[in-house]
């Protein structure tokens, strides 16, 4: 069963073709990592999968239904989105920001809302920040609060755009462990990652995108070969097993010219 699926999706702005014929499916119970160089179309694809942007060709379906046929409230109950940068215009507290994740369920069960918010704050280690004004937080703290907001939404599908980018090693591992837990609960998770080491350690599958096209998708070890990564990132990359973990170790080769 596919939870969320892009079928021959194109997206064009003016003369610029951002995405070209993308096919991608996110399954319940898995983490699908989306990686690729800057400008490859990762965030645009995530926005299309979220229903925030409509494709100019092809379609996106959620549980077999086209996204444009699902009402906004119903859609918000089915998928939660964490963007790279959270935009909060007013001086809301951290608790209030996380509470916003409960908006699709407003008025149904206040006690359940409170439990969901409290659990999300505790899980992300942001409960001690609950009374802080969001704008006063560091970049890493904001990222964890934004992730807590997505968790509080309790949606069947999570779409996460670079949730670990501003985090230190400890909190990267914390967030990825929480992402793994969501998959174990049967949720479908698409996570945009620049850090290929994190993708190798935590993802079930890797989708590699370049110049608006998915060039490979499958188990991380099968997709993240040195030859393919070097070509996609236009820089020599070495892939080797890490004996201590068993995960592929992916590192750029330094002191050599970039690929052309």
pLDDT digits (tens, 9 = 90+) for 70-90: 999 999 999 999 988 777 778
pLDDT tops 70 at residue 176:
yes
Kindly state whether residues 209 and 257 are assigned to the same domain: no
Q: Which residues contact 182 (CB under 8 A, 6 or more apart)?
A: 151, 158, 189
**According to the model, what pLDDT value does residue 244 have?**
67
Domain that holds residue 191: 4-224
Specify the DSSP element, H or E, that contains 6.
strand 4-13
Q: What gap in Å lies between CA 20 and CA 7, rounded to an integer? A: 11
Tokens of 129: 């920040």
**Widest CA span in the chain:** 60
Kindly state whether residues 97 and 217 are assigned to the same domain: yes
Kindly state whether residues 77 and 64 are assigned to the same domain: yes
Kindly state whether residues 241 and 132 are assigned to the same domain: no
Kindly state whether residues 134 and 42 are assigned to the same domain: yes
DSSP letters spanning 222-260: HH--HHHHHHHHTS-EEEEE-TTT-SEEEEEPPSSPPP-
Query: What's the structural domain count of the chain?
Result: 2
Read off the pTM: 0.92
Average per-residue pLDDT for the chain: 92
Kindly state whether residues 189 and 202 are assigned to the same domain: yes
pLDDT (mean) for 28-45 = 95
Kindly state whether residues 220 and 250 are assigned to the same domain: no
Nearest to 252 by CA among 206, 197, 207: 197
Kindly state whether residues 189 and 234 are assigned to the same domain: no
Kindly state whether residues 193 and 232 are assigned to the same domain: no
Per-residue pLDDT of 220-256, as tens digits, reads 989 999 999 999 999 999 998 776 677 888 888 887 6
Kindly state whether residues 219 and 248 are assigned to the same domain: no
Range scoring the smallest mean pLDDT among 2-6, 55-59, 116-120: 2-6
């Amino acid at each position: 069963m596919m939870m969320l699926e892009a079928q021959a999706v194109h997206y064009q702005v003016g003369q610029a073709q951002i995405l070209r014929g993308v096919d991608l499916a996110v399954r319940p119970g898995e983490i699908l990592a989306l990686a690729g160089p800057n400008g490859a179309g990762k965030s645009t694809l995530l926005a299309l999968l979220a229903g925030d942007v409509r494709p100019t060709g092809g379609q996106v379906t959620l549980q077999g239904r086209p996204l444009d046929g699902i009402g906004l409230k119903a859609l918000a109950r089915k998928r939660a989105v964490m963007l790279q940068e959270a935009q909060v215009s007013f001086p809301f507290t951290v608790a209030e920001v996380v509470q916003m994740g409960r908006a699709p369920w407003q008025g149904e069960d206040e006690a359940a809302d409170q439990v969901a918010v409290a659990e999300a704050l505790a899980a992300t280690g942001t409960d001690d920040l609950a009374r802080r004004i969001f704008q006063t937080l560091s970049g890493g703290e904001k990222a964890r609060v934004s992730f807590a907001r997505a968790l509080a939404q309790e949606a069947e599908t999570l779409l996460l755009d670079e949730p670990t980018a501003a985090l230190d090693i400890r909190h990267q591992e914390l967030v990825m462990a929480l992402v793994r837990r969501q998959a174990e609960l049967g949720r479908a998770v698409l996570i945009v990652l620049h850090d290929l080491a994190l993708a190798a350690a935590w993802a079930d599958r890797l989708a590699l995108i370049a110049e608006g096209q998915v060039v490979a998708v499958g188990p991380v070890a099968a997709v993240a070969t040195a030859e393919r990564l070097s070509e996609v990132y236009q820089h020599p990359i070495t892939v080797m097993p890490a004996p201590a973990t068993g995960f592929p170790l992916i590192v750029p080769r330094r002191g050599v010219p970039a690929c052309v």
